[in-house]
C-alpha cells in the first residue's frame, strides 16, 4: 500500500479538478462574483501544482528502491560458497552473490568470490 500513500493527494487533486472545474468556469461566465474568481484561482493552482505533486510522488518511489550499501564483512562465507558452487563461471558467481545481497558492490562481490575460489 505504499503506492496509495504516495498517490492519494495527486489523485484527490485530479478528482477535485474534474468535478469542480466545469462548474467554476460556468459560474464565472454567468455571474462574476469574487467567489467565482477565487474558485478559478484555486482551480488554476490545482492544475499548475499537480505536476509538482506527481514529480514528488515519483521521486519518493525511487528513493525507497535504493539499496543500502552492504559491508563485505557482513556476507557470510556460506553465502559466498553457495554462489560459487552453483556455477563454474566467475561472472555468474559474482552475479548470484549480488542478487542474494543487493547492497553489495560489484568490486566487493568480485573480491569475495576471488578470495574463496
Q: What is the pLDDT at residue 49? A: 75
Q: What is the pLDDT of residue 91?
A: 94
So what's the pLDDT on residue 6?
64
Residue 5 has what pLDDT? 65
Q: Could you identify the residue written with the cell 500513500?
A: 5
Cα–Cα distance, 48 to 66 (Å, whole number): 30
pLDDT at 100: 92
Mean pLDDT of the chain: 79
Closest CA to 20 of 7, 38, 2: 38
The one-digit pLDDT tens for each residue of the chain (117 residues) are: 555 566 677 777 777 777 767 776 676 667 777 777 777 787 777 777 777 777 776 775 554 555 688 899 999 999 999 999 999 899 999 999 999 998 899 999 999 999 988
Q: What is the pLDDT of residue 28?
A: 65
pLDDT at res. 78: 93
Structural domain boundaries in the chain = 2-65, 72-116
**pLDDT for the residue 18:** 75
Amino acid at each position: 500500500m505504499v503506492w496509495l500513500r504516495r498517490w492519494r493527494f495527486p489523485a484527490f487533486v485530479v478528482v477535485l479538478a474534474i468535478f469542480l472545474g466545469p462548474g467554476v468556469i460556468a459560474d464565472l461566465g454567468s455571474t462574476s462574483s469574487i467567489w467565482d474568481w477565487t474558485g478559478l484561482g484555486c482551480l488554476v493552482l490545482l492544475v499548475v501544482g499537480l505536476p509538482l505533486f506527481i514529480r514528488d510522488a515519483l521521486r519518493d518511489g525511487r528513493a525507497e528502491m535504493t539499496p543500502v550499501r552492504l559491508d563485505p564483512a557482513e556476507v557470510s562465507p556460506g553465502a559466498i560458497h553457495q554462489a560459487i558452487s552453483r556455477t563454474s563461471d566467475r561472472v555468474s558467481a559474482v552475479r548470484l552473490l549480488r542478487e542474494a545481497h543487493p547492497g553489495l558492490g560489484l568490486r566487493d562481490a568480485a573480491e569475495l568470490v576471488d578470495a574463496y575460489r
